Homo-oligomer: A and B are copies of this chain.
Amino acid sequence: MNYMDPFNSFFNMKELELEPEGDLIARRLSDMQGMYQQEDNVAGNPKIYEYYNVRLPEIPGHLQHCVTVISPGKIGKEYHMTKGHYHEVEETAEIYFTIQGRGKLVMQTKEGDSKVLDMEEGMISYIPPYWSHRTINTGEEPLVFVGVYPGNAGHDYGDIEERGMKKLVVEEDGQPKVIDNPDY
């Protein structure tokens, strides 16, 4: 039988880079049009986050994985965040292990439940099947985490691109606060 060879990827904690980098995807503000409440008066087109994807066969026994680096900052009152997505195969979970930084993990189901967890170094966050997930950097350094999900999970960005999420994370009096999304 023809087995896949085991392999290592190395995440350089100083440079915040994966070696080899796999697929490196950068998301700038222009890639997230309509996702922030106040994106009109932002100078330039800041990089919000990037992630390194290590791609495996898209079948259930394999484990896709990636390292995400969200730069610190805000767009209006909202902290930098990822686009957020459901899995195409909805009955698949995801795990985040936070390496560095501070943030929030905002999740919701298509039936309207919402849940927010804290992220900090050493936190292992379990996103059970059916929960969409978005990560938000509420700190002053990059928020860095490893994500692992089943090989066949896939990504479904459409619902959140169209409707947003029920909860926003904004800065209020210098502190992160979870509020209801007025446009949802």
Chain A interface (Cβ < 8 Å from any Cβ of B): 1, 3-13, 18, 54, 56, 60-63, 65, 67, 89, 91-95, 97, 105, 107, 109, 111, 113, 115, 117-118, 120-131, 146, 148-151
Q: Tell me if A's interface is mostly helix, strand, loop or mixed.
A: strand
A10 to B128 CA separation, bound complex (whole angstroms): 17
From B94, B121, B126, contact of A7 by CB (8 A): B126
- Known A63-B148, A122-B13, A124-B54; judge A8-B117 contact (CB<8 A): yes
A5 to chain B: which residues have CB within 8 Å?
Answer: 115, 128
Nearest CB in chain B: distance from A165 CB, A: 14
- Known A65-B95, A131-B3; judge A54-B126 contact (CB<8 A): yes
Across the interface, do A4 and B128 meet the contact criterion of CB distance under 8 Å? yes
A59 to B151 CA separation, bound complex (whole angstroms): 14
A105 to B7 CA separation, bound complex (whole angstroms): 10
Across the interface, do B118 and A8 meet the contact criterion of CB distance under 8 Å? yes
A149 to chain B: which residues have CB within 8 Å?
Answer: 63
Given contacts A6-B117, A61-B150, A97-B146, 18 further A-B contacts (CB under 8 A): A3-B130, A4-B129, A5-B115, A5-B128, A6-B127, A7-B117, A9-B126, A10-B123, A10-B124, A13-B122, A54-B124, A56-B126, A61-B92, A61-B129, A63-B150, A67-B124, A124-B146, A148-B148
